[in-house]
Structure 1
Amino acid sequence: MGLGVERGSPPAGAETFVLRRVLLVHPDPTQRALVTAQLHEFGAVQVLEVGDLAEARTAARSPGARDLAVLGCDPGDPEFSSLLAELDGQGWYRVVVVMPGGGTRQIVSALLAGATGVLTAPGPAPADGAAPGTGARTWNGADEPEAGPRPPGVRYVPDLRGMPRALTHREQEILQLAANGHPNREIAEELGLSPLTIKSHLGRIGRKLGSGDRAQLVLLALRAGAIS
């Protein structure tokens, strides 16, 4: 299993992405060691290695930067969606799921649960009958949302390239309040969150939809019917 990283010049106004601290969840110690070594090669300063979802919850709450979470977990696990929701609540806004031989159903399930992206590698044929991959592939939500159930509250909003991106119920709430003209401070008060958390949510929405412009994010959500 290899870890794919997209390189290139960031868009104007985008913040520089630095891997200070990474949460790595995988049941196989050998695979954890391999991915950790690769993360360090990419500049990660600290990698928190855990073997299961319970340990991941504890590690996610530990103090420190929250730059990236890498999950070698089965999206079909009943606890998978709740883990991603908890990671989002703790400020882990970049979450990549790694799975061997993932088919369309597994990939879309992971994206609908809130993953930022999915990496697949050669492996056994997936349960939904899709053919296994012939090499590592990177998925970032570009598939049409046809397979797998949609978690409650999730809505699709096409990004600037027209590719559907899943927005959580919380993200829709924030965009709705932004569309109503509320600044971050008022949105935070309305939702019982901190202004910094609202700023982080908007940053994540911007990364999903491909724009750092608040008005453009609102317009994209309005066009898709995710907000009114």
Structure 2
Amino acid sequence: MSVQNAPGAGGPAASAPTKGFTALVVDDHPLLRESIISRLRTMGASQVYEAASIAEARARANASGPLDLCVLDLGLPDGNGLDLLGELRANGWVRLVVLSAADDPYSVRAAFVAGAQGYLLKSASPAVVADGVRQVLDGGVYADPSVASLLAAGLRGGRVESGVSDLSAREIEVLRLVADGQSNKEIGDRLSLSALTVKSHLARIARKLGTGDRAEMVALVMRAGVIR
């Protein structure tokens, strides 16, 4: 199921919303989600919807049509937030802010390529988060100061190792654990996946990177700056 415009629903107004804007918050952590919602209401949001997964977000988006703002995480329990980001952008959502724990070059660049106008880190102070959201609401583009240099490198055309840019957020998570020397079973236990699912992820990674050797896969993504 993909995100669609709700019947009769138009896109966000061309002018930047101020008081009374509408928003959707997508994050699977209830306390963080509630904190973001509270912050948005303090900033003047008249209506804030919430979702804990891509499926819930799609249902909300289909029901409401494009809202003034969406704040979303990349690591969601039922898929990659980048996919949702691209769907929302394609269906008229013009103010999209990623709020993520991921500070690697791939995630930052991929989010902006997919259509994000803002990229904030979950470790940022409430003031930084509010400032970033406000700038996006005003029609600007904002990157957390900690990742701004990565965005600049991407805009200058910094090369990403062949195949690495095709990796999903989940595949990068798997590779991080491979880099730590963990077995398929240990990776599965950490990510709440079966060993067979981990093996399937590694097979897809191997196809994308052109090698099935675990050490070579890790070396490729390290050279691209995706993991450290």
TM-score (norm 2): 0.47
Bigger relative CO (Cα 8 Å, ≥ 6 apart): 2
Considering fraction of residues, name the structure with more helix.
Answer: 2
